[in-house]
Chains A and B, each alone.
Chain A
């Protein structure tokens, strides 16, 4: 798609009235070059500007923005001992192709030691995906640390681990904790469990409310569950093919932007 569309963008000649415009461009370029020169001689002011940028935004610039200066600034902050910066740096390194994975883990562990919940969560995810020995137990402990600090994604992951361990009661408890913090996947899975009476008492009205909350957060399977329930008159809903159709349309729409895992 990208290639095909690029091919269509054939170069065209500039209209004559653009001359002045391009003169401005040249002026802008010259100004930018001058500014660049000033920057080289005055790097401290640039660093001062970066120093005003939040650690979270620095992480976006260093990651998605591929910005080496932002990465460097993140390193300074991490080396200075800031837990959030250590976590952010570990996170960026873990998701950067070719970056040192061991270094990523070290920074995340440093942040975890300072009680950073997101770092614990990411460590758990990394340990599970790496599939190393004893990873499960360590990951469970990471998730529990983060969940205890209120991290919804960690509670969800701990709940998924409990599901895999065939412990529906523990799973439902963790999912409920994540659902309490509005995690859409947890809301949906807890709705399923509540509908089936799997680890929690069966309660269709409660299941419906949970599906609705997950749907309001644009979780596509929740819209679909509601569509099917409307179609068949389940979960105490009246049969309503119009509502079913609307809900299915929301599936199509929300699938283009499902909730992003943290």
Chain B
């Protein structure tokens, strides 16, 4: 039977539901009607199998590339699980959490075409079929909010902002119990999920005479999430849930679990190892959990790392008490199985019975993180049973990624972005400015009066050759085109800056150019080695400036005006950009995180998709022709050249750029690049 979890535990607290709690195991774990006597000296092997941070990667597939990716995916982990089940007489399969979020598939099921109450989430379908025994809850489980989490886990949450528990539907969820002990409802002061479960596992064991016997063991599982969820998902959790420290929580519940008959205690901790002074708000609490009395094994996660790994240079595995070769933390066997199904954690326990209970012969414990990658760099075969389970969801996600969200009447490219063509950049700036303006108007009245500007850069500008440019064809624009137009998985940030900051920002971006000597009669290369992704530019009629490439770095920006008037050093603006730049990425003067007035959790790419959906039909005139900057006019004695993809001159002309000519059809690099020239006097 399956109980509503929150209420089920409340009953446990008044000692009525204690017996009910232990019924969380899967089918093969049904306890015998009466507990048989187990002879002292009986032995058994029991392996704990861990997956962690699967992030909805069921298939070995990259939804943004729309191509297979053999390095990830549960369909390959499943092969490792089957091998481990063949190897060990008894196994318990456990997921650590960060399970329901992280791919286009998860966004599709949560946001685009929300999974119905009666349907099981794709990742849980795969896990149900694999016969998981227990699951933990990670921080990413909270990314889509509490009502969604309640729905897809088949839970009911007694929290503010949700209907009364009695009015909540019991939706389809995983077929295995999920445990989380340290996240509490503000409203009820009770744990949001069942804090722990005790699985009664029927063991294939040996009696002291070596005869096969079938006898039960009771394994208690308790789950923890990082207390820092309160900051990360504040928009969903503020005023609704709070956390308790992992150590105090373990110290409270583990004796209770033992009193209810748990012979082994397994901690499922979605957190890494941090041996610094304990605090109840510590993000990575697993090191301190290992010190709590009674813990037999830890299945940890969150850090996307491999443990054990004798060669690991990761800081958290090189702390006091951590044996990265053996896989123990303060003596407690511990495994972390990387992420995205790349590894399977395996803790092999040798159990012996003393006539009253099972215990672990710790001298025989083995700990491994097994990779889906073979020694020859190939990957284990997929378990062919997995893909059909979620084929409909997989195909629907692919269709979603290919769905047109709008159209464009012009080819959006960065081939000539270095010489002023804004065709693939303006739409990003428009989307960012629109997003930030709307947020400020609704939420930040103190900045309402400030102009909102936006910068972006040509992320792909030919570094790797002629194919390394943004190039989106005219016609329908799909979700995956947004990834072409916005390469990085950044989030929108808004910074408050003054006129001096903007000038310094643009001076830094103008490092993109070499200093040109007008008197030289030989050809001079215009574009320096400074990366194109740092060539931030405005693309609006309001903002105008010149870049004088005859001047040294730091003295190139001229005639900087906003709405026709020179920008004073003290004039204040809001500039929409991304988290990388706002945090100091690229070392732009004055940008170090301290000017950020809004750090949005939303991706620039998603803001772009939303903007295109609203604008519907993009036009060159409206969305791809507004230049904020030009080169300061100068006559040069020799040609000023730059490289771009071969055969694209017509695009420069279509975009209205004058003075661009083809110098050399093949630049000799063998990378499909041509040498073009720009007449700086035009």
Contacts and interface: CB of A to CB of B under 8 A. Distances in A.
Partners in one complex: yes
A257 B232 contact: yes
Nearest to A35: B14
B243 A64 contact: yes
Contacts of A63: 242
Contacts of B590: 163-164
A216 B315 contact: yes
Contacts of A232: 463, 531
Interface string A45-60: 0000000011011001
Contacts of A228: 531, 533
Given A11-B169, A60-B244, A65-B242, A5 B10 contact: no
Given A253-B102, A256-B143, A11 B16 contact: no
A57 B168 contact: no
Interface in B230-288: 230-232, 236-239, 241-245, 248, 279-281, 283
B161 interface: yes
A255 interface: yes
Interface in A200-255: 213, 216, 218, 220-221, 224-225, 228, 231-232, 248-253, 255
Interface size range of chain B in the complex? 35 or more
Contact of B186 (A5, A27, A54, A65): A65
A113 interface: no
Contacts of A38: none
Interface in B509-560: 531, 533
A220 B659 CA distance: 41
Interface string B581-602: 0011101001011100000010
A2 B14 CA distance: 32
Given A1-B144, A256-B143, A160 B592 contact: yes
Given A8-B114, A248-B489, A224 B580 contact: yes
B607 to A, nearest CB: 14
Interface in B1-22: 3, 7, 10-11, 14, 16-17
B169 A9 contact: yes
Interface size range of chain A in the complex? 35 or more
B232 A260 contact: yes
B366 to A, nearest CB: 27
B148 interface: yes
Binding site of A, secondary structure by majority: helix, strand, loop or mixed? Answer: helix
A11 B163 contact: yes
Given A220-B580, A250-B304, A11 B186 contact: no
Nearest to B146: A2
A71 to B, nearest CB: 13
Interface in A3-52: 4-6, 8-12, 21, 24-25, 27-28, 31-32
B162 A12 contact: no
A192 interface: yes
B463 A9 contact: no
A61 B10 contact: no
A141 interface: no
A56 B230 contact: no
B139 A54 contact: no
B368 interface: no
B153 to A, nearest CB: 13
Given A8-B114, A9-B150, A192 B587 contact: yes
Contacts of B170: 12
Given A9-B150, A27-B16, A225 B169 contact: no
A253 B338 CA distance: 13
Contacts of A231: 463
A65 B146 CA distance: 16
Contacts of A32: 14
Contact of B162 (A6, A10, A195, A257): A6
Residue from the set A5, A164, A225, A255 with the largest chain B CB neighbour count within 10 Å? A5
Given A6-B162, A8-B117, A56 B245 contact: yes
A143 interface: no
B482 to A, nearest CB: 14
Contacts of A253: 55, 102, 304, 339
A255 B492 CA distance: 11
Contacts of B587: 192-193, 195-196, 198
Contacts of A87: none
B397 interface: no
B145 interface: yes
A189 interface: yes
A2 B239 contact: no
Nearest to B279: A56
Given A160-B594, A188-B583, A257-B139, A1 B111 contact: yes
A256 B144 CA distance: 11
Contacts of B166: 11
B322 to A, nearest CB: 15
A61 B241 CA distance: 10
Given A21-B3, A57-B248, A221-B585, A5 B148 contact: yes
A64 B583 contact: no
Interface in B292-334: 303-304, 314-316
B186 A221 contact: no
Contacts of B117: 8-9
Contacts of A216: 314-316
Nearest to B229: A257
Contacts of B162: 6, 9
Given A66-B186, A196-B587, A224-B580, A252 B280 contact: no
B661 interface: no
Contacts of A6: 147, 161-163
Contacts of A221: 579-580, 583-585
A185 interface: yes
Residue from the set A8, A56, A196, A198 with the largest chain B CB neighbour count within 10 Å? A8
Given A11-B167, A189-B584, A192-B587, A28 B592 contact: no
B165 to A, nearest CB: 9
Contacts of A248: 488-489
A182 B171 CA distance: 43
20 contacts: A1-B148, A6-B162, A8-B151, A9-B147, A9-B150, A10-B169, A11-B167, A32-B14, A57-B244, A60-B230, A60-B244, A60-B280, A64-B237, A65-B186, A65-B189, A220-B580, A220-B583, A221-B584, A224-B585, A257-B228
5 interchain residue pairs of minimum CB distance: A252-B489, A65-B242, A5-B147, A64-B242, A11-B167
Given A6-B163, A163-B590, A220-B579, 6 more contacts: A2-B147, A5-B151, A11-B168, A67-B186, A220-B580, A256-B139
